[in-house]
Structure 1
Amino acid sequence: MTSISITPLDGTGRFDAYRAAPEGTPRAAIIVIQEIFGVNAGIRRKCDALAEAGYLAIAPDLFWRMQPGLELDPDVPEQMQAALDWMGQFDQDQGIRDIEATIRAARGELGPDGKVGVVGYCLGGRLAFMAATRTDTQASVGYYAVGVDGLLGEAAAIAHPVLLHVPQEDHFVDKDSQERMHAGLDDHPKVTLIDYPGEDHGFATEFGQRRSDDSAKRADAATMAFFADHLG
């Protein structure tokens, strides 16, 4: 577990990423896409768990152009508000390009035949969906992705498998939005949606008040099975 430095696609500056590697040769690589709280302890723990399962896991600091090294706690109201403010300033298209740079860095470690997937949470869940439509990632997982119903026009570009975990009581994604997600994606041959009745946004966080343990374990087990099927 260490920090690495990655050059963005436009070559201007460098950004840090948390890297967790398994013992021995990685099965594949997985890019872990942050929530609006930065690459905090919870995101680092997600990386560590993937490394323990045999994957190279890398979490890029996507807010680096605004506030490098940002780490916030969603259980602290002032920090939650700060995170929402940062999200409002974040350039998502630029974020996807930084994810693409991270995918390339991972492939550089694995070699030309290495497979790379992505998993993201909250804003990161949305970015994971966008990565499935705009990059060559080979498997994408989004937890409580926000605003996917506004991205359905991009669904035709999905070439590799996508898994979305959808809490039905998500206070950031209302029932109408969830219905539009299902209507637009249920028939897509590459996309699977799993609903979680009674669960709210953030239910699979590693730490803090938002976690709902049983559903988090169920979602994480489905994610690991998905990556085993599609990445190895």
Structure 2
Amino acid sequence: MAETVQIPTLDQSGTIPAHLARPAGTPKGAVIVIPEIFGVNEGIRRKCANWAEKGYLAVAPDIFWRFAPGVELNPDIPEQMNEAFGYFQQYDANDGVVDIEATIRWLRGSEGVAKVGCAGYCLGGRLAYMAATRTDIDASVGYYGVMIDQMLDEAHAIAKPLMLHIPTEDHFVGPEAQAAIHAAFDNHAKVTLHDYAGLDHGFAAEMGNRRNEAGAQLADGRTEAFLIASLA
């Protein structure tokens, strides 16, 4: 069952709209699905539905609610891709991770779910990393997270499991950035890195031209096993 909910901000100054998918029966845990720069579109809603089918409460917050509430974009349409880049330039990830913390608190408090994880994509992948360094989330997964290499000074704060999926041909996260991430985390006890040779940014999208079926299934299988184990 899916619905739209309003999650109070930490400072109680507003509410964050979010798409919520409920499982049948008592949730095994909760997964925050953090969108790409395209909003809570059909692909993100499908990811929420997939988690609900597995028995988890899944919520996708509208990360652009402050200036473009309700936007849904298609990355395969050039004009909409350009619109998404504009929102990315406006976005403050520091506000975003505070919204993720508000969502964690709401899930534990209002929804009564003790264990909370997240899976984020693109900009959402960066926020998944920030959730691992700045919140008490139980586990985080980031797909093709952008700008993580610029935030490695926060790595010391990672206390819970973190998994990052890195396509080696990501045209937004180049070889130097990937090398920096590996240098920081290859020997980190809490971090698991997976490289996907020859794949590009967005390979695990639920639909559209960017999806690589084999790569998406491999990454999503790893994510599922990782979060299920972490949220048990």
Q: Aligning the two structures, in what range does the TM-score lie when normalised by the shorter sequence?
A: over 0.9
Distance 2:110 2:201 in 1: 34
Find the residue that maps to 2:103 and give its secondary structure: helix
Q: After TM superposition, give the deviation of residue 15 of structure 1 in Å.
A: 2.0
Distance 2:14 2:126 in 1: 25
Sequence identity percentage: 57
Work out whether residues 73 and 80 of structure 1, in 8 Å CA contact, stay in contact via their aligned partners in 2: yes
Q: After TM superposition, give the deviation of residue 84 of structure 1 in Å.
A: 0.5
Q: Name the residue aligned to 1:44.
A: 45
Distance 1:92 1:103 in 2: 16
Matches within 5 A, 1:1-232: 1-111=2-112, 114-232=114-232
For structure 2, the residue ranges without an aligned partner over 5 or more in a row are: none
Find the residue that maps to 1:71 and give its secondary structure: coil
Distance 1:180 1:94 in 2: 25
Distance 2:153 2:16 in 1: 31
Distance 1:165 1:14 in 2: 31
Find the residue that maps to 1:95 and give its secondary structure: helix
Q: After TM superposition, give the deviation of residue 109 of structure 1 in Å.
A: 4.2
Work out whether residues 28 and 110 of structure 1, in 8 Å CA contact, stay in contact via their aligned partners in 2: no
Q: TM-score, normalised by structure 2?
A: 0.98
Q: List structure 1 runs of 4+ shifted beyond 6 angstroms.
A: none
Work out whether residues 201 and 210 of structure 1, in 8 Å CA contact, stay in contact via their aligned partners in 2: yes
Q: In the alignment, residue 184 of structure 1 is paired with which amino acid?
A: A
Select between 52-61 and 8-17 the one with higher mean Cα deviation.
8-17
Distance 1:124 1:228 in 2: 20
Distance 1:228 1:101 in 2: 22
Distance 2:91 2:175 in 1: 26
Find the residue that maps to 1:96 and give its secondary structure: helix
Q: After TM superposition, give the deviation of residue 114 of structure 1 in Å.
A: 1.0
Q: After TM superposition, give the deviation of residue 228 of structure 1 in Å.
A: 1.4
Distance 1:225 1:58 in 2: 19
Distance 2:70 2:132 in 1: 26
Q: After TM superposition, give the deviation of residue 9 of structure 1 in Å.
A: 0.9
Aligned residues: 231
Q: After TM superposition, give the deviation of residue 110 of structure 1 in Å.
A: 4.5
The alignment's C-alpha RMSD in Å is 0.9
Q: In the alignment, residue 90 of structure 1 is paired with which amino acid?
A: Y
Work out whether residues 203 and 215 of structure 1, in 8 Å CA contact, stay in contact via their aligned partners in 2: yes
Distance 2:63 2:204 in 1: 21
Q: Deviations over 1:60-103 (max 9, x none)?
A: 00100011001000000010011001000001101111111111
Q: In the alignment, residue 63 of structure 1 is paired with which amino acid?
A: F
Find the residue that maps to 1:66 and give its secondary structure: coil
Q: TM-score, normalised by structure 1?
A: 0.98
For structure 1, the residue ranges without an aligned partner over 5 or more in a row are: none
Distance 1:31 1:15 in 2: 13
